[in-house]
Amino acid sequence: MGAMAPRNEFTEGFIDFLAASPTSFHAASAMAHRLDEAGFTPLDEKQGWGQVSGRHYFVRGGALLAWVAPEQLSGRAAFRIVGAHNDSPALKLKPDPGYTAAGWQQLNMEVYGGPLLNSFLDRELGLAGRIVERDGSEHLVRTGAIMRVSQLAPHLDRSVNDKLSIDRQFQLMPSFGLGEEPDIIELLCGQAGIGVGDLAFAEVLSYPTQEPAVFGNHEEFLASARLDNLSSVYPALVALERMTDSSDVAVLAAFDHEEVGSATASGAAGPILADALARIARGLGVSGDAWYAMLARSSCISSDAAHSVNPNHLAKYDPQTWPMMNQGPALKVNAQQRYATDGPGAALWQRACRAAGVPSQVFVSNNDVPCGSTIGPITATRLGISTVDVGIPILSMHSAREMCGTADPGYLSGELGAYWQGA
């Protein structure tokens, strides 16, 4: 039994997207470029939308919402929503970040989300994000490899391999040069083409500069940063680009800030999706009671990376259910509703898998291991619509270098496309 999934065109496109998307801001921008090429029209949230049928999108910070809507809605039309998120755990630049220590140029950084901190050590990191000028204009910035957080040698810490503990303030600060007067803000402003005096705020995060790579006995694995959750965003993007006419409204919501709880203006717990649906419905002539009926007919597939079984840590998994790479996305189930999957949602998912002709499996937690959560329960709670949580199985979730199977993103894209197309 070898596997089955050497690199292919889909994988190559995914690698390009990963490389272009070091932060949520860059992911939203990369999505926008692709959607422009696929005939989508950008809309400005601050203006009236006018026509909302056809192919449209808008960007809010690190989030992007896109949809394909028919010219004429039937009385049975629904929203078919795919939710995902653009952000990942990282180190984030603090204000006035440069300082010196023992002749080193250092950067003062915060922890964004819940990274596997050790994976950020001994790794060449770059900086990327959004620079905002005093007049409100925004610029994306991205450096090459400029910094590193170096681990202490075992000679100086004999217990390091027994239990690694990392002080988040004093042992996570990257070094990016030698000598006096660190000039990182000048460097970022220079990238943005603005003067330092014009800078209002920098939302800049670390990113691992190592390129994504295919590996394994049969090239069946892909290693990269940010597979949680670009392994959902990219498959959904490709499926949306390929959408043909449908009687329902296909919506892709790629939120920001899932890794810090989603309760932000561009996160899933805010009104961004509900407001967009209301504006689309109004633009299509749906209002009053018909709006609530349309919501009640609607559904959501929340896609976020799942846990593949790790052969060195079997005790952490449900003893009967082991999600395997390259056997399709996992349907995520949890009795405490940390995942939103319910019966009608699971049925919808199975129809989509069957229509696409691709496999699926199940993830459920070991009862003694706390279960993570995702945007599914949040959107289900906000919108009250039937939701199903899925995601492709990955290993090393929240590491600076995660891994997945090369076949699974393509499978997921097929399933999401079948769902949008009416399965």
Residues of this chain that interact with Zn ion (CB under 5 A) are 228-229, 304
By beta-carbon proximity to Zn ion, the closer residue of 125 and 233 is: 233
By beta-carbon proximity to Zn ion, the closer residue of 6 and 114 is: 114
Q: What is the DSSP string of 155-187?
A: GG-TTTTT-----TTTS-PPEEEESS---HHHH
**Cis before 229? omega within 30:** yes
Cβ of residue 224: shortest distance to Zn ion, in angstroms?
Answer: 14
Place of tokens 């769902």: 419
Three-state SS annotation for 101-140? ECCEEEEEEEEECCCCHHHHECCCEEEEEEEEECCCCEEE
Cβ of residue 208: shortest distance to Zn ion, in angstroms?
Answer: 17
Residue 325's nearest CA partner among 218, 209, 416 is 218
By beta-carbon proximity to Zn ion, the closer residue of 56 and 307 is: 307
Cβ of residue 117: shortest distance to Zn ion, in angstroms?
Answer: 17
Q: What is the DSSP string of 198-210?
A: GEEEEEEEEEE-S
- CA torsion 384→385→390→391, rounded to 10°? -70
By beta-carbon proximity to Zn ion, the closer residue of 220 and 228 is: 228
By beta-carbon proximity to Zn ion, the closer residue of 256 and 304 is: 304
Q: Is the dihedral of CA 113, 116, 117, 123 positive or negative?
A: negative
By beta-carbon proximity to Zn ion, the closer residue of 202 and 252 is: 252
3-state secondary structure of 24: helix
By beta-carbon proximity to Zn ion, the closer residue of 304 and 408 is: 304
Cβ of residue 75: shortest distance to Zn ion, in angstroms?
Answer: 37
Q: Using CA atoms, how far apart are residues 230 and 207, in angstroms rounded to an integer? A: 14
Residue 388's nearest CA partner among 356, 348, 353 is 348
By beta-carbon proximity to Zn ion, the closer residue of 229 and 298 is: 229
Residue 238 and residue 232 in contact, taking contact as beta carbons nearer than 8 Å: no
The answer for residues whose C-beta is within 8 angstroms of residue 338's C-beta and 6 or more apart is: 371, 372, 373, 377
Three-state SS annotation for 338-385? CCCCCHHHHHHHHHHHHHHCCCCEEEEECCCCCCCCCHHHHHHHHHCC
Cβ of residue 391: shortest distance to Zn ion, in angstroms?
Answer: 8
By beta-carbon proximity to Zn ion, the closer residue of 206 and 303 is: 303
By beta-carbon proximity to Zn ion, the closer residue of 131 and 394 is: 394
Cβ of residue 54: shortest distance to Zn ion, in angstroms?
Answer: 30
The answer for 390, left when phi > 0, alpha when psi is -120 to 50, beta otherwise, is beta
Residue 337 and residue 377 in contact, taking contact as beta carbons nearer than 8 Å: yes
Cβ of residue 87: shortest distance to Zn ion, in angstroms?
Answer: 8
Cβ of residue 374: shortest distance to Zn ion, in angstroms?
Answer: 6
Cβ of residue 350: shortest distance to Zn ion, in angstroms?
Answer: 23
Q: What is the DSSP string of 302-324?
A: EE--EEPPPTT-GGGB-TT----
Cβ of residue 171: shortest distance to Zn ion, in angstroms?
Answer: 26
